[in-house]
Amino acid sequence: METLKLTDRGWFWPPADELSEAAERIRVRLGDWPCANRAWRICLAAPDAARPNDLIVVIGREVTSDDDAAWRAAGAAIVAAGTDGAALTMPDGRRFALEGTLAEDWLAAFAAFLDCGFEPHDALVLALAWRDGDEMRGDDAWPVDLSRFARVADLPPAPRQPFPACPLRLGLYPVVPSAQWVERVLALGVKTVQLRVKDATPAQLEDEIARAVAAGRRYEARVFVNDYWREAARAGAYGVHLGQEDLDTADLDAIAQAGMRLGLSTHGYYELLRALHYGPSYLAFGAVFPTGTKTLATAPQGLARLERYVRLLGARVPLVAIGGIDAARLPAVLATGVGSVALVSAITAAADPADAVARLQQTFSG
């Protein structure tokens, strides 16, 4: 299988046969993944001329400002490693800092996870979860022990008051554009729903959220509000759903003090660790498949990544799969073991929404 042949593909510069061989040994124990879509080069020493897709590794010393500026201007990223973790700085200045233990084989593991198609920040998370000899302990050596994963550095404290818990399996989870749709799906027996309102005036927004929350109480259902946490708190909503970008601006203490559940979007391992720091009520993972309902900042994740997410976290926190899932794809998604699936157009664009909900519910129960 071509994805397993790393020794002749120039992963390391200067060439490092021992590292390449270790990376290949690790790679064959990680499963069947598509080739990486970029030709990464892990530079073990400063290259004469940095280039795009270079990952320049600096161990045990500070990177000078001149080197940092020159390398990033050339399109290279910098991996600075020490005794207590590692940090990745991308050409655009984004920084991903992790505190944890580095195994002797962490660079080989980093190359192997890059070859599995993971972006550098997620490959680095997985590399820090690697332990020497893991590739000898089974056919699938994928890291699934959360206690071995690094901690995201430099995060603010988690809310003092924990967020209330959700059922571990939230089931069918429609994401709908209006309170009328909330009422419609709850009347069909749905017990978890998200209101995602767009392009509303403040008055319309308040009315939509209040109406949706009232419907949730009437049907004894779980109504989450997307983004608008202040309005959701005033209405007494069951919960809110936020994206990663909202973590920089939302008052998580206020959300917790309002007694609302918190759902957070994640798109990979680094965002997963960042989200877990805040103790959310559930985590959403996506987009699993290509979707036309919103612009994607990351490539579709696929079922193999979802299944490993479930193995890592499925017994710890409720997981919601989202993105491009329809009735035809739902059985394969549920086969990963995920306890909830969010659907949008499979319900709101259906010719007969009542029939669509009934069929989807049957797939969950079957």
Binding residues: 194-198, 226-227, 246, 265, 291-294, 324, 344-345
Q: Which tokens is 342 given? A: 């969010």
How far is Cα 98 from Cα 277, in angstroms, rounded to an integer?
13
DSSP β-ladder status, 95-99 and 151-152:
antiparallel
Q: Six-digit token pair at 113?
A: 């996870």
Q: From CA 171, how far away is CA 334, in angstroms rounded? A: 10
Within 8 A by CB and 6+ apart from 169, the residues are 318, 339, 340
Pair 83, 133: CB distance under 8 Å: no
Phi then psi dihedrals of residue 356, to 5 deg: -60, -45
- Residue 99 CB neighbours (<10 A): 15
With b for 16 or more beta-carbon neighbours within 10 A and e for fewer, the 22-59 pattern comes to bbbbbbebbeebeebeeebbbbbeebeebeeebbbbbe
Cα(19)–Cα(64) distance, integer angstroms? 26
DSSP string across 179-243:
HHHHHHHHHTT--EEEE---S--HHHHHHHHHHHHHHHHHHT-EEEEES-HHHHHHHT-SEEEE-
Buried b (16+ CB within 10 A) or exposed e, 272-285: bbbbbebbbbbbbb
Query: Which among 263, 358, 252 is positioned nearest to 318, based on CA atoms?
Result: 263
Binding positions for Mg(2+) are 227, 246
Cβ atoms of 54 and 47 within 8 Å: the answer is: yes
Which DSSP letter does residue 39 get? -
Instruction: List C-alpha distances in Å: 357 to 39, 195, 353.
Output: 44, 17, 6
